[in-house]
Every structure is written in structure tokens, then in C-alpha cells.
Amino acid sequence: MSEHVVVIGAVALGPKAACRFKRIRQDAKVTLIDRDEIFSYGGCGIPYFVSGDVSDANQLRTTAFHMVRDEPFFHDIKGVDVLSGTEATKIDRAKKQVHIKNLKSGAESVLDYDQLVIATGATPRKLNLPGEELENVFYVGNMHDAEKIKQGITKGKYAKAVVVGAGFIGLEMAEAFADMWGIETTVVEIFDQILPRMCSPVLAKMGQNHMEEQGVAFKLGQTVASIEGNGKVEKVVTSDGEVEADIVIVSAGVIPNDKLARECGLDCSERGGILVDESMRTSDSAIFSGGDCVIIKNAVDGSPMFLPMGSMANRQGRVIGSNLAGHSETFPPAAGSWVVKIFERAMSGTGMSLGAARQAGFDAISVLLIMADRAHFYPEKDMMTLEMVVDKATRRVLGLQGYSAGGDAMVGRINAVAALMKFQPKIEDISNLEVPYSPPFASAMDVLNAIANMADNAISGMNHGHGPDTFAEYWANRESGKFCFLDVRESADAEPFLKKYPEYWHNIPQGEIPKRYEELPKDKKLVLVCNTGGRSYEAQVMLDALGFEEVHNTQGGMAVIKAYGVDI
């Protein structure tokens, strides 16, 4: 009899592993099991289906050549048998059997396997709160949720939405509601920033401001106390008030589905998730696992990491498929790359944010740069804000995050650093990174090189400054008399501020500093500002050399101060 591989779970990793294995081993038998009747779909596309960008739910289940990935597709095209609507209830490792149950008929049976893949994915985290069971409270867990949400929207059932959780899916769903359907949308988040842990509060605020401009409201640093309504949801009560809602989306993260694995004695993490080695093998050598139900290793510090992303699942699926066929492929530690589109902007990152790095024990700093994403003289361009996180002692680059209107261009820079993450790159690896150059696509000294140069200067102490958050603090305390706000741009640029704040705002164009520095107080913190932070850095270097002791340039300058939302 030919070898039999059984794969439990048929959304992303399962089908990939099954098909890859079958392509290598045409003689083997592969059975793919899923509880659902709808499987092998792009779950990350759900917000775009809800928004209407993707018009038909089936598009998330079709191949690039427009075939729906259903049972006949897998049978005829891939040579893989699918048992849909079928639950795996138990794994008997000693007998190498999976107990299954047909969810329609209730019939139970047993499948023998030679090798097994557990691709059970994850389940949306419930809030376990009163009212969570009300009508029109949804999770974004599968295609059925998606269809129900979309049906209600297209029927005009919802005027007010609350999204719980400001992670990727929460923000994408908020955009879908507000942008395409004009639904009054509020996002509630327990942390005091959007995309917590993913990026710094500064970048998060820039993203939040953009979403607010597009009509999305935020309630940050608030927990949900209860969801209320009479049969249907009517409002969400938070720790700080209440918000009317006729639809609620709970997107508070996901929990790995490790029950089957745990019950059959496979090694699992105490905090949830199946443990696998670098070949994606569980503690039973005949059983592989990957995707949203496993714990992998973080490339930055080697710590355990839960990274439920469709892309991880697909790539791991191929490795498992190969290894089922006797190859010895390995899956590398995870960089933790991400990107999210928010209206006309994108946010993206790889590695650790400053907060995450410090929490992991690094003595880390970050620098913030805003710069054109191609030659500044090229007519079509966007300003890209990047934040680089570096370890002071070792000069290692621990992460890079960004915010820009030019999403592809920004992701392109993040790609380069993502590629390096497992090699534990140093600052100089990015300073001299050879991105392709031509004015329509990059700068001669590209934004990616420039942020690394800035990190280099910050670590050496040559560049000492602060972001817009600290500027905002100083500015709020401008009446304390402790600060001298020095605008080093040409006078025409500084003039509006000189007029508005004659007592606080000062202007010496950078080139006049050598002649005019004696005008400046020596007993105050000099807070330097220019358009984007370049000239204020050069002015700071000059003033340092002239013996001023408290010189601080504002990274990102007025451009970032504005995007961050300082009231000035």
C-alpha cells in the first residue's frame, strides 16, 4: 500500500503542505481534513471582501487562474482527497490513527496515517464578557463570519460600528466600514496606542491621526466592560464611557488551536501553541505542525514567538511538504515582518519595535527619519517616515518600522531589513546596503541608508535629539522658561511661527549660526527645529562645537511634528 499522509486543517498551511508533498510523491495518498465546508481560502483577504474591494467571497478561494479550490479541484488538479465538514476528534499516536467525525451525519471513523500534519490554525480570542453572545457581535475567524458581516452591511443594517482591538484586522475592518460603507466607526483598544508592540507610540499616533482624519474614532487605553443590547447589540460599555453600536467586531487576537496536539501528548507551550523544531516537526517525529497553531523562534533574540500570519503558514507548509517527502529543509527564525494598509497610508515593520526590544532586555534606542522615498527632485514622490531600533552596545539593528503614503516603496525598504534579520545585521550593513538606484525609485543616499547613518550618529553621540513626542512635552512646558525653541530654517519658513509665538520661537538660519550664535542663551535647553530634521542635526553639530551644552535637535522636524499632531 502507498504511504498515507493525513493533514488536519485545510485553510493555508494544510493545503500547501499536502500539495507540495503530493507533487514530490505522486505515488502517495494524501487526505486533507477540515471541519468546514469552505476551506483553502485567503483569510487575510476578509477585510477587503467586507469593504467590497473583493466583490465575491469566492475570489478568496480561487486560484490565480480563477478555479475555486473545492473538493473536485483538490482531487483532479492536486491529487489530494479532501474530507470537508469532518472533525478530527483524537490522534492515537501509538496506532498512528486519527479519529474523525462527519459533522453532518455524525458518523465516526478512523484514518490510518504514516505521517500526520496538524494545521489546526487559531481561533479568535473571546472577550468573555456579558453581551458577547448578542446578535451582530462578530469575530473575523472564517468565511462564514465574513459572509454574515458583509450581508448585513450590504442590506444597510449597520450605521454604527465598534471594533474591539487596534491590531491589523481591527484597523483593516475599521477602514472597510468607514471608507467604503460610511459607517460611523469607533475602535476600542486596551493599550494606549494602535498596533501595540508592533511599532512605537510615535508612529502609531501618526497612523491614528490619519485614520481619524478619515473619520474613524479611537478609544485607546480602555477596556471593554460589557456589550449591551436587547437581543441585538446596541452599545459597548468601556472603562471610560459607552459607544453606541449596531455591529461589534471583536478582533482581540487569536489563540492557537493546540487541543488535539496537547491531548495526544505532543509538547506544547504553557502559554499555548504546539512546539516544533526547525524542520517543523513536533515532539513526535511522524507529526509535523505549522501555521497559526505553533510556536516558532524569534530571529532577533531567539525567544519563543507566536506569529499567526498567512504568509508564515504558506512558507512553512512548503517546508513541511518537502520534509514529509524525506527532504531535510529547515524554516528560519522569524523576523516578525508586517504591513497594514490604513486608508491612504501604510504602516510596516520588521524585527522589534523600541518597546519590544527594551522589554526583551536590549539597551536599545531608536531614531526617526522622514525623507522622500526617491530622488527629492523627482516630481512624483512620497515622504516616508522610518524608525530604526538599534542596540547601543553591539550596534545591532533590532528592527525597522515605518509610515508612508507610498506603501510599496516603504515595504520595499522593510523587505531589505527583513531579509537580513536572521543574520543579525549591524548598522553598517544598512548604511551601505546597495538598494537599486535611479531617481524615479530611490535616492542616491537612500532613505534606508540614511536612517542607518542616523542611528550610527545617534549611537556615537554625534546626533542627539528627540522625536515629536518629547518635542510636544517641551512645547507644552514652553512657559517654564527652560527651553529655547530655535528654528534653523531660512527666515521665510520660520516667519509664521515667529509671528504666532514671538516669545517662544527663535530663528537663526543654520548657515548664520557661526555669526549669530551669541544671540542664544547658554542656560536653556536649545530645542532645534527644521523641516525634516536634517538641518537641525547640522546646526546641533555646530552648536556642540561652539560649546553649547544642551542642544537637542527634533528628529523628523516640522513634518513629523505635524503628522504626530502637536498643537502648534
Scan residues 65-84 and list those touching a second copy (CB under 8 A). Answer: 65, 67, 73, 76-79
Among 111, 364, 372, 526, binds a second copy (CB under 8 A): 372
How far is 511 from 9, CA to CA, in rounded Å? Answer: 65
428 interacts with a second copy by CB under 8 A? yes
CB nearer to a second copy: give 47 or 131.
47
Region of 151-159, 282-290, 441-449, 547-555 interacting with a second copy (CB under 8 A)? 441-449
Residue type, 65: F
Among 109, 239, 394, 438, binds a second copy (CB under 8 A): 438
CB nearer to a second copy: give 228 or 301.
301
Among 151, 271, 394, 437, binds a second copy (CB under 8 A): 437
CB nearer to a second copy: give 155 or 423.
423
Residues 6+ apart with CB under 8 A from 552: 464, 465, 466, 470, 525, 526, 527, 528, 540
45 interacts with a second copy by CB under 8 A? yes
Region of 92-100, 105-113, 142-150, 331-339 interacting with a second copy (CB under 8 A)? 331-339
Contact 150, 57 (CB under 8 A): yes
How far is 462 from 540, CA to CA, in rounded Å? Answer: 9
- Nearest alpha carbon to residue 320 among 36, 22, 90: 22
Q: End-to-end CA distance of the chain: give it in Å, rounded.
A: 76
DSSP 174-241: HHIIIIIH--EEEEEESSSSSSTTTS-HHHHHHHHHHHHHTT-EEEET--EEEEEEESEEEEEEETTE
214 interacts with a second copy by CB under 8 A? no
Match 549669530 to its residue by C-alpha cell. Answer: 516
Closest distance to a second copy from the beta carbon of 456 (Å): 9
How far is 444 from 447, CA to CA, in rounded Å? Answer: 9
Closest distance to a second copy from the beta carbon of 101 (Å): 29
Among 8, 10, 38, 60, binds a second copy (CB under 8 A): 60
CB nearer to a second copy: give 268 or 383.
383
Cell of 492: 521665510
Contact 146, 138 (CB under 8 A): no
CB nearer to a second copy: give 437 or 476.
437
Helix, strand or coil for residue 435?
coil
Which residues, 462 to 521, sit near a second copy by CB under 8 A?
462, 489-490, 510-512, 514
Which residues, 129 to 168, sit near a second copy by CB under 8 A?
168
339 interacts with a second copy by CB under 8 A? yes
313 interacts with a second copy by CB under 8 A? yes
406 interacts with a second copy by CB under 8 A? yes
376 interacts with a second copy by CB under 8 A? yes
Among 368, 418, 451, 527, binds a second copy (CB under 8 A): 418
44 interacts with a second copy by CB under 8 A? yes
Output the CA torsion sign for 248, 252, 258, 262: negative
329 interacts with a second copy by CB under 8 A? yes
Write the DSSP symbol of residue 74: I
Residues 6+ apart with CB under 8 A from 390: 364, 365, 366, 367, 396, 397, 398, 427, 455, 458, 459
Instruction: Annotate each residue in 523-552 with x if it binds a second copy (CB under 8 A) or - if it does not, as one string.
Output: -------xxx-xx--x--xx--x-------
Residues 6+ apart with CB under 8 A from 154: none
Closest distance to a second copy from the beta carbon of 453 (Å): 6
Among 30, 54, 166, 176, binds a second copy (CB under 8 A): 54
Contact 123, 252 (CB under 8 A): no
2 interacts with a second copy by CB under 8 A? no
Among 153, 346, 367, 451, binds a second copy (CB under 8 A): 346
- ∠ CA 345-350-354, nearest 5°, is 95
568 interacts with a second copy by CB under 8 A? no
Contact 119, 324 (CB under 8 A): no
CB nearer to a second copy: give 98 or 447.
447
Which residues, 243 to 302, sit near a second copy by CB under 8 A?
none
